[in-house]
């Protein structure tokens, strides 16, 4: 594992806060699915192109999630505040609204999304709108609409307007018949959650649009993402959120997964870095459209033991949630991300040894809602 770098600086930055374009030309496409506006097969469109020295014009859908806000902050530093637009169907917090451009956007409203892309001359699109694993199982029709129908709208618009499109995938895209330790980029998947099924669908549709229409589609399979800025978000790995809250507030923690349930995890700074790196990577360097990325892997018991080094009086018990445990048992224990490391130089910076635990506990004493795992 690489030596951990600048942990204190990264946490401090989180507390203080709340690439070039695609040169591939495409043939006009006819929109499919439920998109309300059909594109004529003989239509022609003006595709925005720009040189290496120009900045992309970025739209982030589902932007009020932890990853969207963090990514916007990173991209605005790199490309300029006004070149990165957050969008969502929710009202943003004041600090988010005043940090840069924000637009209301419903990904199920094809016409509205298309107008945003055209009116703002968007060239890069990051599609973060999705229902996560546990929430998706509780509302399958909504997850199907947001995760699949919304994706179809984004794919059609991205192909029509020659955008560079990023859609995140997940460890949840694998299933119980997948190899788990390690899990390679290419293997049988067969997930058993609507979240996982929708992400496999996204991976395959993105690859199809790339080969059929020339769409510059890029995708990373995220592990659990450890953040210092948000509350649990309905993911199977939320145990790693709650332990920090409970350790500080009550000194007692009840885990809903078995103590030996190993899952891959990643610090948010690494996640955002990987996302930007794969978007900026030269097209000729990419040998596939979807890559695994990985950093660390741990179990609830291992995490609890690290926390107890700093809070020895923490009492840990286990009350297994059968639904979440079944989901976790079908997911990878470790990712093989050798292709990402070879093709575009992916390298993580952060592990989760004692120093990081100490920093996260310190942050949790300063603000309510310290660590979130998004998957």
Quick one: fold of 7-373? Rossmann fold (3.40.50)
Q: What is the pLDDT of residue 197?
A: 96
- Looking at residue 307, what is its pLDDT? 83
pLDDT of residue 303: 86
Active-site hit among 195, 239, 291, 350: 195
Specify the pLDDT at position 105.
Answer: 95
For residues 182, 266, 137, 299, the Cα torsion angle rounded to the nearest 10 degrees is 60
Q: Token match 């990051």: residue?
A: 126
pLDDT, position 229: 58
State whether residue 187 is helix, strand or coil: coil
Q: Which residues contact 254 (CB under 8 A, 6 or more apart)?
A: 246, 316, 317, 318, 319
Task: Look up residue 183 and give its DSSP letter.
Answer: B
Over residues 129-139, the pLDDT tens digits come to 998 887 888 99
What pLDDT is stored for residue 1 in this prediction?
41
**Regions of the chain where pLDDT drops below 50:** 1-53, 366-374
Predicted pLDDT at 237: 76
Residue 318 annotated as catalytic: no
Using CA atoms, how far apart are residues 375 and 179, in angstroms rounded to an integer? 19
C-alpha closest to that of 2 among 346, 364, 375: 346
């Amino acid at each position: 594992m690489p030596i951990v770098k600048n942990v204190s600086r990264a946490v401090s930055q989180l507390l203080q806060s709340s690439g070039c374009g695609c040169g591939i030309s495409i043939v006009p496409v006819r929109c499919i699915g439920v998109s309300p506006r059909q594109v004529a097969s003989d239509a022609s469109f003006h595709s925005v192109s720009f040189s290496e020295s120009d900045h992309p014009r970025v739209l982030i859908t589902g932007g009020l999630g932890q990853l969207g806000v963090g990514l916007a902050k990173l991209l605005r530093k790199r490309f300029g505040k006004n070149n990165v637009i957050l969008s969502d169907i929710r009202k943003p917090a004041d600090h988010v609204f005043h940090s840069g451009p924000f637009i209301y956007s419903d990904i199920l409203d094809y016409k509205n999304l298309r107008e945003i892309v055209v009116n703002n001359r968007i060239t890069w699109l990051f599609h973060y709108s999705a229902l996560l694993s546990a929430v998706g199982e509780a509302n399958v029709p909504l997850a199907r609409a947001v995760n699949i129908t919304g994706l179809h709208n984004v794919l059609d618009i991205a192909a029509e307007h020659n955008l560079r499109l990023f859609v995140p995938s997940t460890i949840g895209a694998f299933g119980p018949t997948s190899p788990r330790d390690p899990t390679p980029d290419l293997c049988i998947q067969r997930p058993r959650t609507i979240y996982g099924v929708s992400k496999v669908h996204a991976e395959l549709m993105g690859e199809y649009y790339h080969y059929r229409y020339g769409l510059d589609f890029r995708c990373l399979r995220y592990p659990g993402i450890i953040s210092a800025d948000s509350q649990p978000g309905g993911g199977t790995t939320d145990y790693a959120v709650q332990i920090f809250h409970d350790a500080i507030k009550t000194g007692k923690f009840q885990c809903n997964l078995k103590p030996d349930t190993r899952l891959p995890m990643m610090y948010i700074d690494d996640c955002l870095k990987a996302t930007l790196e794969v978007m900026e990577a030269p097209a000729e360097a990419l040998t596939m459209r979807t890559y695994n990325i990985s950093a660390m892997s741990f179990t609830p018991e291992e995490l609890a033991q690290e926390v107890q080094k700093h809070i020895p009086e923490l009492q840990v018990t286990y009350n297994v949630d059968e639904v979440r445990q079944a989901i976790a048992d079908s997911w990878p224990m470790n990712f093989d991300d050798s292709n990402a490391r070879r093709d575009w130089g992916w390298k993580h910076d952060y592990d989760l040894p004692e120093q990081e635990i100490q920093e996260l506990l310190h942050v949790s004493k300063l603000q309510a809602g310290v660590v979130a795992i998004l998957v």
